[in-house]
Amino acid sequence: MRKSVVWLSLVIAGGMVACSDSNPDVSPGEMASAPSSRSAISGAGATFPYPIYAKWADAYKTKTDIGLNYQSIGSGGGIKQIKANTVTFGASDKPLKPEELDEAGLIQFPMVMGGVVPVVHIDGIEGGDLTLDGPTLADIFSGKVGKWNAPEIVALNPDVELPDTAIAIVHRSDGSGTTFNFTYYLSAVNPAWEEEIGADSAVQWPVGIGAKGNEGVANMVTQTNGAIGYVEYAYALQNDMAYTKMKNADGVVVEPNAENFQAAAANADWARAPGYYLILANQPGADSWPMTAATFILVYKEPKDPAALKTALDFFDWAYASGDEMADELHYVPMPDAVVNMVKKTWAESIKDSSGKALWTN
């Protein structure tokens, strides 16, 4: 296993700026300045979708000369920045409930789906060698299982030689939609976790070391023998990290991959989800990856700069129409056409300028 993380080489020259400190408390004045291009779209938030947003941004800038200045500061930071009206859009892996959207004058819509995966650094263990289930994963992250050769882990891996090594927990230190989806899953499968810790973008971790962003968790895990953390799947692939397989809700052991993310997403009933508030964790199905998640865009219903938002909507429309192959390459799951049509209908019905004129027409 590599001892140092390979940082995602997806920063777009003149198009996208990444912020590696993933701090939800970043002030507007600390936002990096917009890059020079014919027109720049400004956004901030989740690190989970950063690899695909970067890839889309590169292709879109080549096509249109319109750049994307996206600050990868974590979902909490994205929510804070859009509510402060300092960016055109926010990005969050933790969807806001309809009442919070209404209070802030926002709408949200799902952009793409992916998977959260446990990643480990155990000498001699390669990707896919180790299998965990939800209750055991929760007990590991709560500190109740502290050695890699603990009976609970051995029972799930009878053919794997597990070391008598202490487990080093690495978790997010910032407000994170990845953390929300991870802890939502742990709450769903482990009653003790739900009662003692719960699900949120930031929780009181009983044990472990905090790191900022998916990047920070990946970096910390690769440098620490005995470590376990959780990251979006693209980060595990980019950094050649050892991931674990998981026993899903149907009791089937599955690998993290786009097909299994898609299997979990197939059960998503977006049409019955007010404000697109829908959590994909622990979905049934023999092939379903249990920590599948959507990532969301947040925009104002009545933006202070309608032209800027129209430019952003044009980019999102292009990504929906032309970005599926790029998403597949990075093991994200594109949104189904039916959901895309619902989203664009939401744009047309909900987003207006100060005179009440719709910014988007289908």
Q: How many CB atoms lie within 10 A of CB 158?
A: 7
Does the domain made of 28-114+293-350 have the CATH classification 3.10.450.50?
no
Task: Retrieve residue 292's tokens.
Answer: 């599948």
Model confidence pLDDT, tens digit, residues 310-335: 999 999 999 999 999 999 999 899 99
Q: What are the tokens at 105?
A: 């004058």
% pLDDT > 70, the chain: 89
CATH 1.10.150.20 applies to domain 116-267: no
Q: Which of 13-22, 71-80, 311-320 has the lowest mean pLDDT?
A: 13-22
For a pLDDT cut of 90, what percent of the chain falls above it? 86
* pLDDT above 80 (res 16): no
Q: What is the reported pTM? A: 0.85
Name the nearest CA neighbour of 43 among 17, 70, 77, 83.
70
DSSP for 106-140 reads EEEEEEEEEEEEEEEE-TT--TTS-EEEHHHHHHH
CA 318 to the chain's CA centroid: 21
For residue 157, give the H/E element and its range. Answer: none
Is beta strand 168-172 parallel, antiparallel or unpaired with respect to 253-254? unpaired
For residue 298, the SS3 value is: strand
- pLDDT level of residue 238 (50, 70, 90 thresholds): confident
Nearest residue to 308 via CA among 34, 17, 22, 56: 34
Residue 21 has pLDDT above 80, yes or no: no
Q: What is the DSSP string of 176-212?
A: -HHHHHHHHHHHHH-HHHHHHT--SSS---SS-EEES
- Residue 38: pLDDT band with limits 50, 70, 90: low
Whether the CB-CB separation of 323 and 54 falls below 8 Å is answered with no
**Where are the domain boundaries for CATH 3.40.190.10 in the chain?**
28-114+293-350, 116-267
Say yes or no to pLDDT of 223 above 70. yes
Asked if 110 and 335 touch (Cβ cutoff 8 Å), the reply is yes
Dump pLDDT digits (tens) for 171-191.
Answer: 999 989 999 999 999 999 999
Average pLDDT score over residue span 85-112:
97
Rounded mean pLDDT, 40-59: 95
Give the residue, 108 or 331, on which the prediction is more confident: 108
